[in-house]
Structure 1
């Protein structure tokens, strides 16, 4: 494995970690900078497509709407594997996401186990996410 490949793997790992850090801090406009302008973002829950967003502007509106309903985010990233092909790459990553929302005066914790299938592209001297498919594999909610 060359130093260039190791450097690229590190940059791609930083990209998915930045997504988690910035999302947890509600820095949605900064999160959008991690994506290409023509991004596609799909969400599957229980194997069913529940969201299919195209374009960074649309995605930003959706993310802001979602964030407005959440009191707290906490994301923990796990394994991340990538296949690099020049200025494109594909990757799989796993995350544990916790969200607290207030519903009927009670704090509700929802715990998500998520697998992301990503397509990356190197543009303007940095890596971006061009396509993200989120598979919400386990979803558990409870009152705190």
Structure 2
């Protein structure tokens, strides 16, 4: 009888250790999935800007999201809510014939269903100014706060830091 009790205790201990390992692995997988989803969120934002699909782009933000900007260290305005953000994005993108984002490094800090992150981006904008084809290239650092709603990560707050700008005339 003692052998049976000892054997049951050992089996229970092994099952408990395996359950803890599985729980730890599940947490690691969730972290990896969340990081990939947030990277995809930021990249999708850029792709939708490039094709000027503001309507779909707005779905990447929470209903009451805030977007603010800083240019060369000077604060700009703040947009609140999808409607205001959408009007501003559409008006800006319509100034250009070509919009092209290249996303770079990103860091993310996860905290349950909330996260914060920093993403680097280079943006090229091609449009016409004074009857000349001009290319404006900007270095942007996004400081974002994200929330997970209904299983999907969304941008809740974004500060776009336009750290440098270069403007050149394009040759025909």
Q: With the length of structure 2 as denominator, give the TM-score of the two structures.
A: 0.82
Q: Secondary structure at the match of 1:2?
A: helix
The list of structure 1 runs, each at least 4 consecutive aligned residues, that deviate by more than 2 angstroms after superposition, is none
Residue 136 of structure 1: CA displacement? 0.5
1:84 aligns with: 110
- Structure 2 segments unaligned to the other structure (5+ residues): 1-26
Q: Distance in 2 between matches of 1:51 and 1:136?
A: 13
Higher strand share: 1
Q: Report whether the alignment pairs 1:126 with 2:152.
A: yes
Deviations 1:48-94 (A, max 9, x none): 11231111100101111111111100100000110000000000000
Offset at residue 100 of structure 1 (A): 0.6
- Between Structure 1 and Structure 2, which shows a larger proportion of helix residues? 2
The equivalent of 1:41 in structure 2 is: 67
| Residue 122 (structure 2) aligns with | 96
What is the match of residue 51 of structure 1? Answer: 77
Is 1:64–2:90 an aligned residue pair? yes
Matched, 1:138 2:164: yes
**1:124 CA drift (Å):** 1.9
Equivalent pairs counted in the alignment come to: 144
* Structure exhibiting the larger radius of gyration computed from Cα positions: 2
Aligned-residue CA RMSD in angstroms?
0.9
**How far apart are the structure 1 equivalents of 2:77 and 2:98?**
22
Q: For structure 1, which runs of at least 5 residues remain unmatched after alignment?
A: none
TM-score (norm 1): 0.97
